[in-house]
Amino acid sequence: MFRVGVDIGGTFTDLYAWEEDSPSTQAVRTAKVLSTPEDLSIGVMQALASAGIRPDEITNIVHGTTVATNALIQRNYPDPALITTQGFRDVLEIGRQRREHLYDPYQVKPAPLISRRNRFTITEKMGADGSTVTPLDEDELRAKAEVIRDRGIRSIAVALINSYSSGEHERRVREILTEVIPDAAIALSHETSPKVRELGRFTTTAIRAAMLPVVGDYMNRLEEKLAEEGSTAPLYIVKSNGGMMSADNAKDHPEELIESGPAGGVAAGAYLSRLLESPNVVVTDVGGTSFEAALLENGRGLVTDEYELEWEMPVVVPMLDIRSIGAGGGSIAWIDSGGSLRVGPQSAGAVPGPACYGRGGTAPTVTDANLVLGRISPDLSGKFALDTAAAEKAVSTVAEPLGMSVAEAAEGILTILSENMASAIRMVSSDRGRDPRDYAMVAFGGAGGLHAYETAKSAGVAKIVVPPYAGVACAFGAITMDIRHDLEGTFYSPLEGVDIAAFNSELSRLEGRARELLERDGADSSTAVVDRFAAMRYVGQSYEVMTPLPAGELTEDSIETIKHSFFKEHEREYGVYSEDFAVAVVNLRVTAVGSTGRTDIDSSANASGGTGGAPSKREVFFEGEFVEVDVYGPGTLSDDASIAGPALIEQEHGAIVVPPQAKAETDRYGNILIESK
């Protein structure tokens, strides 16, 4: 029986399966198939078929998906409505009134998630202390509910001002909406994100409302396909926070899937961090359309609640701090109005794909450049034939205007791409006050190993690790996950003089709800690991620092411990702290992690198991000329092999470039370790 991880990307759908009852050397099956944008669930079934796994052989399936993210970015979802308090109709458009580009007079804000004609205001108001300031006008609400019903809208966000302090009015709004529109899907802001600051709460609730029908429809179709083929296994979905939840919970909480796909890569990085006893790593993932980078400290991904879907669209649910840019194998090279070569963020995606795929693409892509330079094989390691002539023709469209040879232009494309990816690493590290030189880089993605050395060199990272499952790393990471739920709530109080009883009561409430969610997902809440945090700041500051809280019942003696923990975290994030200013608590968070009782993956199953056979030869372009280099195919490298560049290492679902100035070694797990000579 198989434990299956699946990850859907813009170009490929990846699968990694672990056969729990087999000897370790036979336990792994993988697949990489083209994604099916017309119905992404078809790609999942094709990946299972490619791996030779019948749905009735699955014990559980963990699925990372970009369904929610893509639908939001493309605004491809049924029209939702918003009901809010009078005077707050345009919060989604006004935002924070900041400029993304300070000196660009032509910048335009992204389209709002809910159009203005479908945003309705009602008479009501709750106070910041949870008291009723203005009663809810129920007759007015019913009249507007009828308008929403008559427009055919069946997904509604309810975001009332100050509802984080009391959800009484929002719950009554839901009752009335359900009477008028019985089949409505309704998202309440105090249930979605009960935190102070209305923009983040309104936006996150709008996302939930918009995604309820999209994610629900996709999950239902996938479950139906699996059931039709005989599967009775539970379906789990990768969450943005680095854990997983049941498909039923995912249908109710689609806002927690924004980074579902990349989160699998962070989980794979955490597994590798433990395996190699390397606590601090930067995880990178080069896919077909995007590049992601994330930091792990002490084997755990850094979490943020300041993520922005787009400019001025904050998503205030805890999620891994993953930075994404448009840079991948399908990224298109082009020449700007100033005559400079650029790469991305536009991508050829799965359809039509790079020119060399022979599916109708004509624009020069990163994959075309790698093929022209000989860095990937013309048969894509046995998957399907690539059209070298079409790649050369595509790259020539940028080479000729620049007065360069096709090979020189292709090398330039890869250099620019590597610099773009290095900037993402610097961004995710410098924004958190970290130095990338203190980290090892783990390179994931089918194209991760192709660009790992140049990207790491530019970012200042000395050590690179490319695991044997790099090409399907997000799918691999999915099956290493535990169920995880993060619950938050507003609890504003100066730390000095805080009501300890109320403090403990709110933490207890959040923990109880987290354990309920674990039980709903099939985990044993009695064995769960529960961590507690407080979002804290100096009085007068605008942003908070997440601070760990002591375990157990808090007492007056705990206050000093909490204060010094805040000082430590503030110094870590900003480089400074002061004991002279008053400290306040703003929000509380409880993180609960529970296991489904699965067996651990045997890491020896990832070993290379190579024969140490002789490499083949290929002409590859390095530093301005084609040179003959050794090419080590899948399964040819033995453990503890040492390779001096230039060389190529081909894996089942990817390839690794070892340039002339680098060397590579293998370890007993089949990992490729790269560093300068």
Residue 600 predicted with pLDDT over 80:
no
Average pLDDT over residues 341-350: 87
Per-residue pLDDT tens for 625-653?
Answer: 999 999 998 877 877 788 998 999 988 88
pTM for the predicted model, two decimal places: 0.88
* Residue 610 binned pLDDT confidence (cut-offs 50, 70, 90): low
The pLDDT of residue 43 is: 92
Residue 597 predicted with pLDDT over 80:
no
Round to whole Å and give the CA distance between 34 and 287: 12
The pLDDT of residue 289 is: 79
Most confident of 23-37, 178-192, 421-435, 601-615: 178-192
Residue 24 predicted with pLDDT over 70:
no
Round to whole Å and give the CA distance between 193 and 171: 14
* Residue 504 binned pLDDT confidence (cut-offs 50, 70, 90): very high
Round to whole Å and give the CA distance between 273 and 300: 9
Average pLDDT over residues 81-99: 93
Pairing status of strand 314-315 against strand 307-308: antiparallel
The pLDDT of residue 23 is: 52
Specify the length of the chain in residues.
Answer: 677
DSSP result, 619-667: EEEETTEEEEEEEE-TT-PPTT-EEESSEEEEETTEEEEE-TTEEEEE-
Average pLDDT over residues 554-575: 92
Contact 538, 496 (CB under 8 A): no
Q: Identify the CA nearest to 333 among candidates 354, 315, 308.
A: 354
Round to whole Å and give the CA distance between 262 and 478: 10
* Interior/surface letters 254-278, b for 16+ CB within 10 angstroms, e for the rest: bbbbbbbbbbbbbbbbbbbbebbeb
Residue 604 predicted with pLDDT over 60:
no
Q: Residue 653's CB: how many other CB atoms inside 10 A?
A: 25
* Residue 605 binned pLDDT confidence (cut-offs 50, 70, 90): low
Structure tokens belonging to residue 190: 């105090």
pLDDT, the chain, mean = 90
The pLDDT of residue 288 is: 79
Average pLDDT over residues 42-62: 93
Contact partners, residue 139, CB within 8 Å, separation at least 6: none
Q: Residue 287's CB: how many other CB atoms inside 10 A?
A: 29
Average pLDDT over residues 151-163: 97
Average pLDDT over residues 382-393: 88
The pLDDT of residue 350 is: 72
* Residue 53 binned pLDDT confidence (cut-offs 50, 70, 90): very high
Q: At what angle do helices 388-402 and 406-430 cross, to 10 degrees?
A: 80
* Residue 295 binned pLDDT confidence (cut-offs 50, 70, 90): very high
The pLDDT of residue 5 is: 94
Q: Is 375 exposed, middle or buried (0-12, 13-18, 19+ CB in 10 A)?
A: buried
Round to whole Å and give the CA distance between 405 and 383: 29
The pLDDT of residue 20 is: 78
Average pLDDT over residues 517-525: 90
Residue 192 predicted with pLDDT over 70:
yes
Cα 117 off chain centre by: 32
Round to whole Å and give the CA distance between 630 and 454: 19
Higher pLDDT, 667 or 190: 190
* Residue 69 binned pLDDT confidence (cut-offs 50, 70, 90): confident
* Residue 609 binned pLDDT confidence (cut-offs 50, 70, 90): low
Round to whole Å and give the CA distance between 347 and 417: 13
Q: Distances in Å between the alpha carbon of 533 and those of 267, 401, 503, 545, 632?
A: 21, 56, 12, 10, 48
Contact 263, 320 (CB under 8 A): yes
Residue 608 predicted with pLDDT over 80:
no
Higher pLDDT, 662 or 325: 662
- Type of residue at 69: T
The pLDDT of residue 98 is: 81
Structure tokens belonging to residue 388: 């070298």
Show me where the domains of the chain are located: 77-217, 331-419, 487-594, 617-668
The pLDDT of residue 26 is: 61
Q: Is 250 exposed, middle or buried (0-12, 13-18, 19+ CB in 10 A)?
A: buried
Choosing among 3.40.50, 3.30.930, 1.20.1070, 1.10.238, the CATH entry for 77-217 is 3.40.50
Share of the chain above pLDDT 70, in %: 96
Higher pLDDT, 350 or 541: 541
Start-to-end CA distance of the chain, whole Å, equals 44
Residue 25 predicted with pLDDT over 60:
no
Round to whole Å and give the CA distance between 176 and 141: 8
The pLDDT of residue 526 is: 87
Residue 439 predicted with pLDDT over 60:
yes
Specify the 3-state DSSP secondary structure of 464.
strand
Residue 542 predicted with pLDDT over 90:
no
Contact partners, residue 34, CB within 8 Å, separation at least 6: 11, 12, 13, 43, 350, 353
Beta bridge partners of 28: 18
The pLDDT of residue 380 is: 74
Structure tokens belonging to residue 70: 């893509």
DSSP result, 72-136: HHHT-SPPPEEEEETT-TTHHHHTT---SSTT-TT--PPPPSS-GGGEEEES-EE-TTS-EEE--
The pLDDT of residue 287 is: 81
* Residue 351 binned pLDDT confidence (cut-offs 50, 70, 90): confident
Average pLDDT over residues 193-218: 95
* Residue 211 binned pLDDT confidence (cut-offs 50, 70, 90): very high
The pLDDT of residue 326 is: 84
The pLDDT of residue 305 is: 82
Round to whole Å and give the CA distance between 102 and 120: 32
The pLDDT of residue 612 is: 60
Contact partners, residue 108, CB within 8 Å, separation at least 6: none
Q: Residue 423's CB: how many other CB atoms inside 10 A?
A: 18
